[in-house]
Amino acid sequence: MTISREDVLRVAELAHLELTPEEIELYRGQLDEILNYISKLQQLDVAHVEPMTQMSFGRAEPAASSRTSRHEAETDLREDKLRPCNIADAVLEQAPDAVKPFFRVPKVIER
Amino acid sequence: MSATKAWTVASIQAALRSKKVSAREIATEFYANIDRRNPDINAYLTLSRERAFAQADRVDVATACGEKLGPLAGVPIAVKDVISTAGIRTTCGSKILETYVPPYDATAVARLEKAGAVILGKTNCDEFAMGSSNENSAYGPVRNPVAMDRVPGGSSGGSAATVAAGLAVAALGTDTGGSIRQPGACCGVPAMMPTYGRVSRYGLIAFASSLDRIGPFAMNVADAAAIMSVIAGHDENDATSAAVPLPDYTAGIEQSIQGLRIGVPEEYFGEGIDGQVKEKVLAGIALLEKLGCRPVSLKMPHTEYAIATYYIVATAEASSNLARYDGVRYGLRVPGATLIDMYRKTRERGFGAEVKRRLMLGTYALSSGYYDAYYLRAQKVRALIARDFAEAFQKVDAIVTPTTPTPAFKLGEKTSDPLQMYLADIYTVTGSLAGIPGISIPCGITKEKLPIGMQILGPHFSESRVLQLARAFEKAGGFLI
C-alpha cells in the first residue's frame, strides 16, 4: 500500500476539498491503484533527459547572421501596452456576493 | 436517418446562394430535430435559439442584399460547454458553474460567427472535460446515437453525438488526451485535434493548459477542413497560439497522397486491442497503400508509458487551473464560517467524483517530497514520447493507428474502475503529449454495427497533409470499409 488514510487527508487539505468518510476510503483505494500503475515510470532511466516544459512549436529559428537576439527570436512577447477592458461590472454580476467594486468573503483576519 | 444529416457546409452554401432555402429555415429544421431527439440523447445542455436566429437573419439579409457570404454562412454548429459564449450559460458539465454566464466569447466562437456560422447551443461533456465516456457530466450521460445503450465517448461526447444524430452540421470539441478523437471514433464521425497552438485557447475554460486544444467534429473531411480554416491562426489574446502561416485547408484538400510514407507503429496493435478494430484498421492501411502510400513499420518504444505520463501531467495542471473555483468570483458558493471553510464546502459540493479524484492525484504529484518522483519524471518521459514522434517523422510523413482499442462500451460498464476508463485513451494520449495534430475518421463498423475509428497523426502544423490523407481515404470508400 502506497497511500495511507493520512496521505489522503493531507492531499485533500492542500486541494481545499472536504471529504466525507466514505470518500476518504474510496479515494484511498483508487489513488493507490492509479499510483501503482503510474509507478511504471520508475522503470525508465531519465537521468540525462531534459524535461519537456515548453509547448511552443514552429517558432522561427534565430538565423546565424541575424542581428535579432536569441531571446527575441524565441519568444513571442507582445508590446507592453494598456488596452481598455471595461468588464468590471459584467464580471461582478457573476459573483455570488459582490459589493461594487469588491467581492465579499467571510472575514479573513481575526483581531 | 434524419433529413438534417444531408446538410453539409458546401450544400448549405449552394442552397443559400440559389435561394432554395433561408438560414432561418435551416436553423428551424435543426431545432425541430433537437426538440424531438435531444431528450433521449442529452447531447445539448443549453440551446441558444435567440442568438442563433438573430445570426441566421443576418445571413438571410446579407443573401437578399447580394452581399458576399462568409465561408460558414448559415451552418448550424454546436459548441462544447467548456468553451465560453457571451451571454450563454457555460457550465463545463459541472454543478460548480451551473449558473455561470461568460461575459465574452472564445476566439474560436467569435471566428465561427464572423464566418456566418449559427451557434445552436452548448453540448454536454464530462465535467471539466475529465472523462472518456461522458458519464462524468453533472447533467447526466449522453447516449451514443448509433447505439443508445452505449457511451458516445468523452469528454466531447455531446459534440460528437450532435453531429452523428444530425442535431448540428458540425461541432467544436476540445481534446486534452483524446477528447475529440475518441468520441469521434465512438460515434462514427471525423474529428480533428489540431497542433498545439494552431487554434487559440482564448475563452476555453482550462483543464490542462499544456495539452488543451479546440477542434472540429464534422459530417465529412471537407467540412472539418472548412471549420479548421476559420478557427485556426494566431490570436493576440492567447500567447501560446502560434504565429505560423495558415494554409487554406479547403483549397488543398484534394491534393494527391501518392508516394506518402505512412508509419504503422507496432505498439498500437498489440495487447488489449479488439480483434475487429485491428482487422478494420489494417484494412484501412491496405486501402491507403492501394491509393499510393507506402506503409513503413515503426517502433515507438515509449508508447506504453503514455497513460501514466498523461495522468500526472494533466492532473497536476488541473489541480492548479481548478483552484480558481472557490466560491469567490463566480459559480457556486456554499457559505462557511471562515474563508477556507467556504472554499472547502463549495468545492466539496460543486465538484463531482472524477474531478475530485484528479485534483487529489495532481495535488499529490506536485506536493512536497513527491514532485521529483512524479511530476518532474513525467515531464521527462513526455520528452521521450515527443522524441519517439520526432524520430518517426524523419522516416515517415504520417502515422496511422486505431483511435481506440475497442468500440464504444456500454453505459455504466467502466464507471466503477477509473483506471480501466483511463486506458480507453491509450492510443490518443501520445499525440496529445507530443503536441502534434491528428484526426480520427470512420473506418468501418463491427458485426454489432458499432463505429470503428482510424487515427492519422502528422508532424507539428501538418494539418493539410493529415486532412488530405483523410479526404483520399473517405473518397475511396474507407469510411465504409
For B302-371, the DSSP string reads: TGGGHHHHHHHHHHHHHHHHGGG-SSSSSS-----SSHHHHHHHHHHHHS-HHHHHHHHHHHHHHSTTTT
Average pLDDT over every residue of B278-287: 98
Cβ of A41 within 8 Å of Cβ of B309? The answer is: yes
Confidence of residue A111 (pLDDT cuts 50, 70, 90): low
Q: Which residue of A has its CA nearest to B335?
A: A106
pLDDT tens digit sequence for B169-196: 999 999 999 999 999 999 999 999 999 9
Q: How close does chain B come to A2, measured CA to CA in Å?
A: 12
Radius of gyration of chain B from Cα atoms?
A: 21
Q: What is the pTM of this model?
A: 0.96
Put simply, the chain A residues between 55 and 84 with a CB less than 8 A from any chain B CB are 55-59, 76, 78
Cβ of A55 within 8 Å of Cβ of B435? The answer is: yes
DSSP state of B232: B
Confidence of residue A75 (pLDDT cuts 50, 70, 90): low
Residues 6+ apart with CB under 8 A from B155: B93, B125, B126, B129, B130, B131, B132, B134, B136, B174, B176, B179, B183
Put simply, the chain A residues between 12 and 31 with a CB less than 8 A from any chain B CB are 12, 14-19, 23, 27, 30-31
- B416 pLDDT above the threshold of 50: yes
Phi and psi dihedrals of B295, rounded to 5? -70, 140
- A47 pLDDT above the threshold of 50: yes
Supply the pLDDT for residue A70.
43
Domain with CATH 3.90.1300.10 in chain B: 3-231, 261-300+384-480
Flag whether residue A109 sits within 8 Å of chain B, measured between CB atoms. Answer: no
% residues pLDDT > 70 (chain B): 100
- Per-residue cell: B356: 475530485
CB B355 within 8 A of CB B127: yes
Task: Using an 8 Å CB-CB cutoff, list chain A residues near B101.
Answer: 94
Exactly one of B80, B122, B280, B414 is catalytic; which is it? B80
Of A50, A87, A105, the CB nearest to B339: A105
Supply the pLDDT for residue A76.
62
Supply the pLDDT for residue B1.
55
Question: How many whole angstroms from its chain centre is CA B137?
Answer: 16
- Per-residue cell: B87: 451571454
Question: Which CATH number do you get for residue A30?
Answer: 1.10.20
Residue B263: how many CA atoms within 13 Å on its side-chain side?
A: 23
Supply the pLDDT for residue A55.
86
Average pLDDT over every residue of B215-242: 96
Task: Report if residue A37 sits inside a domain.
Answer: yes
Cβ of B308 within 8 Å of Cβ of A91? The answer is: no
Task: Report if residue A78 sits inside a domain.
Answer: no
Nearest-angstrom CA–CA distance, B161 and B124? 9
Task: Using an 8 Å CB-CB cutoff, list chain B residues near A90.
Answer: 103
Residue B288: how many CA atoms within 13 Å on its side-chain side?
A: 33
What is the residue-averaged pLDDT of chain B? 97
Residue A4: how many CA atoms within 13 Å on its side-chain side?
A: 3
What is the residue-averaged pLDDT of chain A? 83
Cβ of A46 within 8 Å of Cβ of B103? The answer is: no
- A63 pLDDT above the threshold of 70: no
Cβ of A44 within 8 Å of Cβ of B305? The answer is: yes
Residues 6+ apart with CB under 8 A from B392: B263, B265, B298, B300, B399
Supply the pLDDT for residue A66.
42
Supply the pLDDT for residue B289.
98
Average pLDDT over every residue of B37-60: 98
For domain B3-231, is the CATH number 3.40.50.800? no
Flag whether residue A99 sits within 8 Å of chain B, measured between CB atoms. Answer: no
% residues pLDDT > 70 (chain A): 80
pLDDT tens digit sequence for B305-331: 999 999 999 999 999 999 999 999 999
Per-residue buried b or exposed e for B89-113, using 16+ beta carbons within 10 Å of the residue's own CB: bbbbbbbbbeebbbbbbbbbbbbbb
Nearest-angstrom CA–CA distance, B453 and B405? 9
Residue B449 is among the residues annotated as catalytic for this protein: no
> Which region among A37-41, A73-77, B472-476 has the lowest average model confidence (pLDDT)?
A73-77
Residue B114 is among the residues annotated as catalytic for this protein: no
- A77 pLDDT above the threshold of 80: no
Task: Report if residue A70 sits inside a domain.
Answer: no
Nearest-angstrom CA–CA distance, B428 and B323? 27
Flag whether residue A8 sits within 8 Å of chain B, measured between CB atoms. Answer: yes
Q: Which residue of B has its CA nearest to A34?
A: B419
Nearest-angstrom CA–CA distance, B125 and B136? 8
Flag whether residue A95 sits within 8 Å of chain B, measured between CB atoms. Answer: yes
Supply the pLDDT for residue B399.
98
Question: How many whole angstroms from its chain centre is CA B75?
Answer: 19
Cβ of B367 within 8 Å of Cβ of A50? The answer is: no
**Count of A-B CB contacts under 8 Å:** 163
Q: Which residues pair with B336 in a beta bridge?
A: none
Average pLDDT over every residue of A73-81: 68
Helical (H) or strand (E) element with B77: strand B76-80
Task: Report if residue A33 sits inside a domain.
Answer: yes
Residue B159 is among the residues annotated as catalytic for this protein: no
Supply the pLDDT for residue B175.
98
Average pLDDT over every residue of A5-29: 95
Q: How close does chain A come to B87, measured CA to CA in Å?
A: 10
Cβ of A49 within 8 Å of Cβ of B380? The answer is: yes
Residue B416: how many CA atoms within 13 Å on its side-chain side?
A: 2
Q: How close does chain A come to B342, measured CA to CA in Å?
A: 8
In this structure, which long-range contacts are made by residues B86-89, counting pairs with CB atoms below 8 Å and at least 24 apart in sequence? B87/B51, B88/B46, B88/B48, B88/B51, B88/B119, B88/B121, B88/B122, B89/B45, B89/B46, B89/B122
Supply the pLDDT for residue A56.
80
**Residues listed for chain B:** 481
Task: Report if residue A100 sits inside a domain.
Answer: no
Domain count, chain A: 1
Q: Which residue of A has its CA nearest to B358?
A: A31
Q: How close does chain B come to A55, measured CA to CA in Å?
A: 6
> Which region among A87-91, B60-64, B290-294, B375-379 has the lowest average model confidence (pLDDT)?
A87-91
**CATH T-level topology, domain B261-300+384-480:** Amidase signature (AS) enzymes (3.90.1300)
Q: Which residue of A has its CA nearest to B382?
A: A52
Task: Using an 8 Å CB-CB cutoff, list chain A residues near B351.
Answer: 17
Q: Rounded to a whole number, what is the distance in angstroms from the first to the last CA of chain A?
A: 44
Exactly one of B137, B179, B229, B440 is catalytic; which is it? B179
Q: How close does chain B come to A66, measured CA to CA in Å?
A: 19
- A67 pLDDT above the threshold of 60: no
Nearest-angstrom CA–CA distance, A66 and A46? 35
% residues pLDDT > 90 (chain B): 97
Q: How close does chain B come to A63, measured CA to CA in Å?
A: 17
Supply the pLDDT for residue B2.
74
Cα–Cα nearest to A25, from A6, A5, A1, A11: A5
Supply the pLDDT for residue A68.
44
The complex's ipTM?
0.91
Exactly one of B132, B155, B200, B432 is catalytic; which is it? B155
Per-residue buried b or exposed e for B325-342, using 16+ beta carbons within 10 Å of the residue's own CB: bbbbbbbbbbebeebeeb
Segments forming the whole domain that contains residue A12: 5-43
